[in-house]
Amino acid sequence: MKDFCLLRVKMKKLREGDYIETKEGLLFHIKGVLHPKDRVIAFLRYFPTEKGERERKNRRFKKIYPLDKRYKYLKKNFPKYIFYSKKIRKKIQAVPLEDIKKIYRPQEKLEEIREKKNLTSIEEKVLNFSNKIVQISGIDPHQIGVSGSILVDLHKSDSDIDLVGYGEEAGWKIHSAIKKMRDKDTDIQPYDEENGLRIAKFRWERTELPLEILAKIEMEKVLHGMVYGKDFFIRLVKDWPDIDSSYNDFEYSPKGVAKIEGLVSDDSDSIFTPNRYVLEESQTLDGNHGKVENITSYRGRFSEQAVQGDKILAYGRIEEVTCRNRKFNRMLLGKPEEYLLPIRKNLKIPKQITEK
């Protein structure tokens, strides 16, 4: 019988970038850093099936990406992993602690690669890239890890390189190091126009915005690009000493969808996941939702989307947040049709978009 108390201790150490495997063999990736006491908020990424295109230890798996398809699969096959949260007043994917069979941590996986003698081609690229980041940024080697398909040994020859950096100070050092590396290292490049458009189509195709404009924003971002001919993405996560709140500190009440405009007054959390943009001079363009204090997202595609001083246009869900006897509105972004658009001259945004 599993030690439930031991699992609770482990759960406290689960965060964005980690993966868990259930007793049925489902692989979930952890979302955020705050979780209920008896389960962890995590979203399905791989499930075992004979029709799967990936293989590990003679067992085939299939990757599932669209969020609606993940919910549909779980609802049909494993409804116990869909949980109604009274705190956020909606159903989310979450795994009870007693159903966790194994935990996969990015830092441990990268350490395993460092000690391995016969590396695969992609493992060698991961090792070289992460070593360069550590050397140039000056961070501790344990403040970086490898996530995604490589973490759970389901990568293919064309898989991306997904790294995770830990800690607020270390995160900004990593961000600065990548900037330097792009300027001096020919193996590391930002996305060019062709790849920027490819990424924009993958991330933003279901929004109402022109992909050419969104591609320019993707090309400017530091935390993704090409390394050794492969796509890379670096997810930066706050470390435990940086976090002074718990899951039970917050309650969220949905107020509907809206389009807003405002001015970014604080972008200090913009490079992290979850990411946040503090607003001033915000106003709702449709509906009567009042002032929106910040824009928040748990999706990596919204990181580096705007900077301090940007006037922005955004479309998403308005929530009333109650936190320690204080109430305020935020906009939550994450659905395929939702967006955050900085209004900049170099983007040449058509007037019909900004004047809607």
* 180 pLDDT above the threshold of 90: yes
CATH of 246-354, one of 1.10.3470, 2.30.110, 2.40.50, 3.30.310: 2.40.50
- The percentage of the chain sitting over the pLDDT mark of 70, rounded to a whole number, equals 96
Res. 12 pLDDT band, cuts 50 70 90: low
For residues 294 and 49, give the distance between their C-alpha atoms in angstroms, rounded to a whole number. Answer: 41
How far apart are the C-alpha atoms of 48 and 54, rounded to whole Å?
9
Confidence of residue 1 (pLDDT cuts 50, 70, 90): very low
pLDDT above 60 (res 7)? no
Distance (Å, rounded) from C-alpha 204 to C-alpha 344? 18
Look up the pTM and report it: 0.92
Average pLDDT over residues 28-48: 95
